[in-house]
Every structure is written in structure tokens, then in C-alpha cells.
A = this chain, B = another copy of it.
Amino acid sequence: MIIVMKAEASKADADELLALIENKGLKPLYLPGEERTVLGALGDERVLADMNLHNHPHVDEVKAILSPYKKVSRELHPEDTIVEVGPCRFSPDKFVVIGGPCAVENTEQMSTVAQGVSQAGAKLLRGGIFKPRTSPYSFQGLGIDGLSVMTDAADAHGMGTVTEVTDVTEVPQLDGRVSAFQIGSRNMQNFRLLEAVGKTNTPVLLKRGLSAKIDELLLAAEYIVDNGNDQVVLCERGIRTYETATRNTLDLNAVAYIKKRSHLPIIVDPSHGTGVKDLIVPMSKAAVAAGADGLIVEVHPNPSEAKSDAHQQLTIAEFTELMQQITPFVHASGRTLS
């Protein structure tokens, strides 16, 4: 950590901080300059994170040297983590597509979707049973009763399942019964929930918060890994910016950046990432090309009748078209569809 003192700080002020650094087990450095004095704290500076030294009365600015996360960093763990979810492997040679409706509604819906999505080449089925909704007046999901509706449909086609957990009490209800948990954007920093899934052996699909920095996404993943579960797949799903033409701004820079910095796989959600149906195909291709390890796409047999995200979900025909459209880009990336 580098600590820039205020212009008016004295040698005694610096000495006080240097003693503090040494007390914390770090190696202190004293670098007097013409305009400013700079101090260094070498070693595992994360022990200083809670001190908010940038608000110390004699300190002007503090610069971290190390990234705040460790276990998810590629620096100490250079090889890619392979995550197995149901019949699929998230790995550098594969491209995994997860399809299914926003919300599980009934048996017929799920059966139709599972067949359609499976026939188009996807092996993981998604569907929400616990739905976090912005408005209290919106459909809130079937709850735990929806679980077997989804798993029966998936089983019939040899598919794995992914569903969202919104609260710690739901984790034991679903653990062992789904192929992967999904943590939604709004819960990316629900730390109790991260700890709860981190204590299971079930893979976790962790979505980036709507305005989360990349470092915060990686720190949220660190919570899960630190609790013992390293089967984490990250998901970029669009960030909130000033642009209003699209609902969110799909940040593919983040995909490329995370592939360099972390060993965890990362997929893209083009449905929420754009919020505009006719951008799903081009942005899915772009996600492949940017290096993503997969996609998660909303599909519904009859989107205009859907109880949530109506009209935004793809029809089965549109999903089939999407799979065909991305295939040449998957191959250009040296991957095959998983």
C-alpha cells in the first residue's frame, strides 16, 4: 500500500503512521519528496483495508497495490477452473448455453421448453421459482412447489437445472435437488446468502450486480470460495449507465478483463444485458467472440402469455435460430457447444 501524505504533514506525522504499519506486521517505507512525502506498506496490505487511511488527518491519498481478492485471482491460480454442472463442463474448449423461462409457471410450459431448448442443443434448463420483483404487485413465483415441475421437465431430456435462491432459508430446500444455484444481481452482495451457498457442494452461478465493479464481483465470488465452494461461474448481465436506449449496457469489456484476471468461468446474459429483444442475437455472437464461456437466455413457449418478462423471452423457434447463428462464432473461437 502506498500512502501519500498531505503537503503540510510533518516528519512526526509520518513516523506515527510508519509505526502503525509496522505494528500490523507490514514492512514500512519512508519516501520523502519535494512536494509530498510518500509512505509504503509492503506485505499483505489487506490487513489495512479496514483502516480507511485515506481519511486519516495527515493523509491525502492511499493506493492499494494488491487486488483485494486472492482465491479467485489468476495470479496465484493460473489454470482455469473447470466447473461441472449437470451434463455440462464450463471449460476453455466448450461453450455452454443455459435456456429456459424467466419463471416456472406450470408443467406444460416447462415440458415444452425443455424439449425445445434441448432439441436446439442446450443441456441446462433455467427457471425461477422464487422471483425477486421490483414491484410488490408483480408475480412472485410458484415457490418450492415449482421445483419438481422444473426438475421433472429437465430429467425427461437429460438436462441439468439452474434456479435462483433469494434467501438463506431457500438454500437447504434446493441443495442436492438442482444442478446449480443462481445468485441474482440484487443479491450479489447478500453476504449471508453467499456464505450459505459457499458451504454447499453445489455449483453457483453468480450474477454481477447492476452497478457492481468488477472487483466487487470478484470479492463476492471470494466469499463463496472462501467458504469452501470453488465451483463458481460468473455472469455478466449488463450494468446501469446513463444510456437509456437499451435497458442495461452489456459490459463485454468485463468478460475480457475477467478472463485475464480470474480463473473462474464467466458467461453472459444477453436477455437482461440488453433488454431489447432484437439485440439478443448480435450481442450473443459478440459475447462468444469476447471470450465468454457460455450464455444464459430466457426462452418461453409463448412469451406474450408469460407471467413475467413477457415479450422479452425468446420463442423456441427464436432460440433455435440463436443457436444456429452463434455456432460459426463458437467454432471461430476454437470451442464446441457443450
Q: Is A65 interfacial (CB 8 A cutoff)?
A: yes
Within 8 A of B (CB), among A251-300: 251-257, 259-260, 273-274, 276-279, 282-283, 285-291
- Interface pair B35/A66, CB less than 8 Å apart: yes
Partner of A168, one of B52, B167, B214: B167
Q: Is A82 interfacial (CB 8 A cutoff)?
A: no
Could you tell me the distance between the alpha carbons of A310 and B17 in the complex, rounded to whole angstroms? Answer: 14
Q: Is A249 interfacial (CB 8 A cutoff)?
A: yes
- Interface pair A253/B239, CB less than 8 Å apart: no
- Interface pair B282/A286, CB less than 8 Å apart: no
- Chain B residues whose C-beta falls within 8 Å of the C-beta of A27 in the assembled complex: 33
- Chain B residues whose C-beta falls within 8 Å of the C-beta of A55 in the assembled complex: 276-277, 303, 310-312
- Interface pair A136/B226, CB less than 8 Å apart: yes
Nearest Cβ in chain B — how far from A238, in angstroms?
8
| CB closest chain-B residue, reference A167 | B192
Nearest Cβ in chain B — how far from A33, in angstroms?
4
| CB closest chain-B residue, reference A328 | B332
Partner of A332, one of B166, B189, B329: B329
Partner of A249, one of B251, B289, B310, B328: B251
| CB closest chain-B residue, reference A47 | B137
Contacts A55-B311, A136-B222; A279 near B253 (Cβ below 8 A): yes
Nearest Cβ in chain B — how far from A70, in angstroms?
9
Stretch from A36-44, A89-97, A120-128, A172-180 contacting the other chain: A36-44
Could you tell me the distance between the alpha carbons of A221 and B1 in the complex, rounded to whole angstroms? Answer: 32
Q: Is A53 interfacial (CB 8 A cutoff)?
A: yes
- Interface pair A308/B50, CB less than 8 Å apart: yes
28 contacts between A and B (CB under 8 A): A31-B40, A31-B42, A33-B43, A35-B66, A46-B137, A49-B135, A50-B307, A50-B308, A52-B312, A55-B277, A55-B303, A55-B312, A134-B189, A134-B216, A136-B191, A136-B226, A136-B227, A167-B167, A211-B242, A240-B242, A241-B241, A249-B251, A249-B253, A250-B253, A256-B274, A256-B283, A285-B289, A285-B290
